[in-house]
Structure 1
Amino acid sequence: MMNLYIRLCYDYFIRVIIYIIFLNSCYSIREESVMSRLMPLLLLLASLTATLTAEETVPADSIRVQYRMDPVVVTATKIRHARRDLAASISEIPRELIETTPTAAVLELIQHHVPGLYVTEWGVMGFGAAGQAAGKISIRGMGGGADTHVLILRNGRPDFMGLMGCTIADEFSSDGVERVEVIRGPGSFLYGTNATGGIINIIPRQVHENGFETTFKASAGSFNIRTLSLSHGGRQGAFDYYLTANTRRTDGHRDDSAYRGDHYTLHGGYRFNNSILEFNANLADLRVLDPGPVNAPRTDNWYDMLRFGGDLNWIQNSAWGESNIKLHANFGEHQFFSGWNSTDRTLGLMFFHNAKPWKGQTFTAGFDFKRYGGRADDASTDYGEFFITEYAPYLHAQQLLGSRLIVSAGFRVENHELYGREWLPKAGIVVHPDRATSLRFSLAKGFRSPSIRELYFWAPANEELTPDRTWNLEAGLSRVFGRRLRLEAAVFETRGRNLIQFSGPPPRWVNGGSYEHRGYELVFNWMARDRVEIGATWSHMDLSESAYNIPGRKLTCYASAGWRFLSASVHLLMIQDMKGAEFGPSPVPVLHEMDDFTLVNLTLSADILRRLRLNLSAKNMLNTSYEAMWGYPMPGRHLMLEMESRW
């Protein structure tokens, strides 16, 4: 009787929280935006039917459905944990969603499924490079510019341009990707620099059962889009492998906006009795043209980039726990229309050991080392060669107390050859009032080391810079109703101090900027039937006046359904309250209020033969006129027809 009373109290508590968020959302969203009300409406309907849904008799869920409701993730702690047991805010995009989202770019893909995450775009394909290009990532108001506040990992290893410290967005293709895990909030205590706003971990595809599989895709579409893709993998006993190769081309929707991208990935693994040896490699050969803003169009502004890297990973299991040692490297060669030439590299070692010394305890001790940098010159200047070394020991512990309370704490000491040490703590609490509900609280510090660009290149350079620092406090709640419906809510406050900003005259990078961002996020996921799924996310942020390329409000919705040999999926993206940046001679941009926009993408699929499928994608179905970054109008409605064969 007491358990029933507690359960009913929590049901009503959750409903009250959802009502409050619903009313706030309705008040804050513009009256004319009918589609933008979808997320609060879904939450309201779900809360009204919570008790009925929880008590209805449903068939036993498949393993796939159970996993989607509570996936096992690794990025937040470097140990496999159920998401509901972790204090961090985590989004997981599985292969099913990757395959039904009509894009081959990982960053565009995750934008449709992660609240509070935004990526700038300028055309049909391609993001470009340099400080004024597209592909700028932000999470929870952190990022949006040339300085990188979101760390991208490939299979747990950092991947960034060694000289500039930025992410080259075009090098990340969705081919050969098993899933993507996104940490919303700082992860510096485990991964070091650049993880102030969040972390994106791209996990490579593997074949898990004996046998072989091959997939070939070819497509053509508007703006002379042409793509070819080949994937092949297999497992034979202890050995598994997966290979991908693809090429993508388009003439673009504006003059001088063409794109060419060739991507290759390789995964190989071998399982011994108590250990695993893995190898992963990737290569991207890219050529992107920047058409410029419409008020100052550019001609033949090309960027040629070659990016490649890999890691060798050894995992050893014993009575003492699991040890993991990873050697990793990234390389890049860049040539730009301006005469810029650069080579960069990052070399590193990652070691950590996971143990369970007693019941309910998981413990991680690790050490990271990396050296990054490169050489650059242009038509008039040889900038020379620069490298920076960083290393850091770290600890993380998580303890189950009783059956309902989990506490965790972590600590990292980052050592940098220029500015010295940075201390990075983290703490979290997770409470399970019942099997379906999870309450979480966390406090974490993030930081970003000054890049080699800010330390040594061009007139604003300053060798005395110290790191950006942020503190993030958040609370979250997640609840599963009837095993197929999941709701999540999170509120957060992030404070940044000592931020690197432009000062002058004379022009100079200095520490001293600050900001405070507050917001909340909602996530809805309903697997109504085996081939029917509906999901939505909503984020609302109060941003500082200087924030740009970051939407104050963002809504995403998706739905997919299948019947016999037919299937369909639709994705909606709504962006509101965003400022764009107009760049001139000064590194400080002029900010402009940007128009809100709503996009709808549709994909229809049909299995024509046993091994042949046709996919028709319509992007920007409403033919919306919009800009995803200031001055760069995006394409209107455009189609792509794809042939897919699997055997």
Structure 2
Amino acid sequence: MRKERMMLCACCLLGAVSMHAQTNRDSPQIAGSYAINEVVVTGARSETDVRHLPMTVSVVGRPQLEAGKQSSVLPVLNAQVPGFFSTSRGVLGYGVSTGASGQMSLRGIGGPAQAGLPTTGLLVLIDGHPQYMGLMGHPIADACQSMMAERVEVLRGPASVLYGSNAMGGVINIVTRKMQGDGVNTNIHLGAGSYGTIQTEATNRVRKGRFSSAVTASYNRTDGHRANMAFEQYGGYLKLGYDFTDNWKLWGDVNITRFNATNPGTVDRPYLDNDQRITRGMTSFALENHYKRTSGALTFFYNWGDHWINDGYQPGSNPLDYRFNSNDQMLGLSWHQSVQLFQGNRATVGVDYFHFGGEAWNRCSDGHRETSANKSLDEVAGYVDFRQDLASWLTFDAGARVDHHSQTGTEFVPQVGLAFHLPQDAEVKAMASKGFRNPTIREMYMFPPQNPDLKPEKLWNYELSFSQHLMEHRLS
């Protein structure tokens, strides 16, 4: 089969429909891949002008995500964020286990795709909550869906002071959609192509007084361009919010993704019954406060997954007499508060608690069960970040984190940086920061050569950057 026809299966959309109902003040956010006056939350845990941050942050807004017409945010990040790379999504999604893609890296750190290993050195967040699997310690690329994202903020370089383990190479933070002004906004997108390919998405957002909601559902499928190939994905997202006062808000959301894939292997090395049934879920609650001189949040999140995998067999050989199963979970409780102590200052303190783990087993054809892992671990940390404008053209930032892991012990993580604000939309930033990654349960307890005595992986990052925007931000 010609390569062009393979691409047609995944990319050729023969029809599209978009319907809108919108009122008053809510309008799409216009964002470039990097705008020097962008307000972000990822680099400081609170809304901050990116010019005052010593680290490099890129922002991909909703208009770019919609223009990309991709069910996942990763292909759009590939095109928009310098230094970011992810292996390509196939006809069968990104997948998991043998033959999976979706390994991610920032500036070469994250997941060593050339070795087929998962992404454990780059942290994926949804509204600041870690999204990696409790057992394997890596994100599921097919769960990074565009439908829920208002924008994606990418912090390039270590972010372990604020986010702990796995943020060694950087952070991808999916900021979910909210309705800012009173009214109703509805979008429906439909697409169809060859080989039974269908892409659908429907979103409804409402705000009335102090109440707001966002509901999104999607369905994607394809029969693939070869025999014994198929992919089907369901997704749903619900976010509810209520403003008690102008200063206090409560948010709650839930997201569920289910995908089924049948992979026939390569033409030279075909497989039969190579099937995956994956379900991922996430829910969170956040109580936020916003005042002129202080802001913060108390959040709780819970992630879970259920995996059923049949690695299949080659024609002429015997089918496997077992199926791999796993379920994992990760829950966390986080608090942070940011306060302006005096003019030009911002100090942030926070505490994180994470509990993660799960069980993995092979279910054999005779009914008995062989457990390969049944383990849970804990992580607790406290951090502080101090930022001060020393002059109208200079900002100083310093931070530190003390992170204790129930298996590997305590890690001290510092960072320090400067941001110089120059005329004509120019910036110079200098930063030194430490990043680290705790070993995963998979590495310590599951598959050979498992080693429970593994220590954290660490690195120091030294960065000097210059950026400038010209021609009314048309050239950067």
TM range (shorter): 0.7 to 0.9
d(CA) in 2 for partners of 1:270, 1:299:
51
Q: Relative to 1, partners in 2 of residues 1:471 and 1:151: Cα closer, same or farther, differing over 3 Å?
A: same
Cα deviation, residue 85, structure 1: 2.1
1:116-515 to 2 correspondences below 5 Å: 116-121=83-88, 123-130=90-97, 132-142=99-109, 143=111, 144=113, 145-273=117-245, 274-317=247-290, 321-338=294-311, 339-379=323-363, 381-487=370-476
SS at match of 1:124: coil
From 46, 50, 64, the counterpart of 1:83: 50
Indicate conservation of the 8 Å contact 1:396/1:409, yes or no. yes
Q: Relative to 1, partners in 2 of residues 1:349 and 1:271: Cα closer, same or farther, differing over 3 Å?
A: same
In structure 2, give the amino acid aligned to 1:412: R
Cα deviation, residue 419, structure 1: 1.4
Cα deviation, residue 68, structure 1: 4.9
1:7-86 to 2 correspondences below 5 Å: 64=30, 68=35, 70-86=37-53
1:584-603 to 2 correspondences below 5 Å: none
d(CA) in 2 for partners of 1:469, 1:294:
41
d(CA) in 2 for partners of 1:131, 1:399:
49
Cα deviation, residue 113, structure 1: 0.9
d(CA) in 2 for partners of 1:290, 1:424:
42
Cα deviation, residue 484, structure 1: 2.8
In structure 1, give the amino acid aligned to 2:219: T
Unaligned 5+ residue runs, structure 1?
A: 1-61, 488-647
Indicate conservation of the 8 Å contact 1:65/1:484, yes or no. no
How much is the aligned-residue C-alpha RMSD, in angstroms? 1.9
d(CA) in 2 for partners of 1:352, 1:445:
21
Q: Bigger radius of gyration, 1 or 2?
A: 1
Q: Relative to 1, partners in 2 of residues 1:324 and 1:302: Cα closer, same or farther, differing over 3 Å?
A: same
SS at match of 2:80: coil
d(CA) in 1 for partners of 2:187, 2:302:
29
Indicate conservation of the 8 Å contact 2:252/2:284, yes or no. yes
Indicate conservation of the 8 Å contact 1:131/1:146, yes or no. no
Cα deviation, residue 74, structure 1: 0.6
d(CA) in 2 for partners of 1:289, 1:468:
35
Indicate conservation of the 8 Å contact 1:69/1:483, yes or no. no
Q: Relative to 1, partners in 2 of residues 1:269 and 1:425: Cα closer, same or farther, differing over 3 Å?
A: same
d(CA) in 1 for partners of 2:200, 2:413:
45
SS at match of 1:149: coil
In structure 2, give the amino acid aligned to 1:300: D
Match of 1:564? Answer: none
Cα deviation, residue 134, structure 1: 0.9
Q: Please, which moves more after superposition, 133-142 or 219-228?
A: 219-228
Unaligned 5+ residue runs, structure 2?
A: 1-27, 312-322, 365-369
Cα deviation per residue 1:490-539 (whole Å; 9 max; x = unaligned)?
xxxxxxxxxxxxxxxxxxxxxxxxxxxxxxxxxxxxxxxxxxxxxxxxxx
Match of 1:42? Answer: none
Indicate conservation of the 8 Å contact 2:216/2:236, yes or no. yes
d(CA) in 1 for partners of 2:305, 2:176:
21
Cα deviation per residue 1:391-414 (whole Å; 9 max; x = unaligned)?
100000110011111010110111
Indicate conservation of the 8 Å contact 1:478/1:486, yes or no. no
d(CA) in 2 for partners of 1:110, 1:65:
13
Indicate conservation of the 8 Å contact 2:200/2:219, yes or no. yes
In structure 1, give the amino acid aligned to 2:183: G
Cα deviation per residue 1:15-38 (whole Å; 9 max; x = unaligned)?
xxxxxxxxxxxxxxxxxxxxxxxx
Cα deviation, residue 258, structure 1: 1.6
Q: Relative to 1, partners in 2 of residues 1:317 and 1:123: Cα closer, same or farther, differing over 3 Å?
A: closer
Indicate conservation of the 8 Å contact 1:397/1:408, yes or no. yes
Q: Relative to 1, partners in 2 of residues 1:486 and 1:439: Cα closer, same or farther, differing over 3 Å?
A: farther
Identity %: 33
d(CA) in 1 for partners of 2:64, 2:108:
25
Cα deviation, residue 227, structure 1: 2.2
- Matched positions, count: 426
Indicate conservation of the 8 Å contact 2:104/2:119, yes or no. no
Cα deviation per residue 1:254-303 (whole Å; 9 max; x = unaligned)?
44332111010111111122201011210001112233344322222111
Indicate conservation of the 8 Å contact 1:344/1:375, yes or no. yes
Match of 2:7? Answer: none
Q: Please, which moves more after superposition, 181-190 or 82-91?
A: 82-91
In structure 2, give the amino acid aligned to 1:222: S
Cα deviation per residue 1:303-326 (whole Å; 9 max; x = unaligned)?
101110111000124576223100
In structure 2, give the amino acid aligned to 1:298: Y
Cα deviation, residue 70, structure 1: 2.4
1:595-634 to 2 correspondences below 5 Å: none
SS at match of 1:340: strand
In structure 2, give the amino acid aligned to 1:78: R
d(CA) in 2 for partners of 1:63, 1:161:
31
Q: Please, which moves more after superposition, 125-134 or 472-481?
A: 125-134
Cα deviation, residue 65, structure 1: 7.5
d(CA) in 2 for partners of 1:464, 1:366:
29
d(CA) in 1 for partners of 2:309, 2:86:
23
d(CA) in 1 for partners of 2:72, 2:450:
33
In structure 2, give the amino acid aligned to 1:230: A
d(CA) in 2 for partners of 1:191, 1:465:
21
SS at match of 1:370: strand
d(CA) in 1 for partners of 2:66, 2:262:
28
Cα deviation, residue 102, structure 1: 2.7
d(CA) in 2 for partners of 1:64, 1:384:
47
Q: Relative to 1, partners in 2 of residues 1:169 and 1:207: Cα closer, same or farther, differing over 3 Å?
A: same
Cα deviation, residue 92, structure 1: 0.5
State the TM-score, normalizing by the size of structure 1.
0.64
d(CA) in 1 for partners of 2:122, 2:447:
24
Indicate conservation of the 8 Å contact 1:128/1:289, yes or no. no
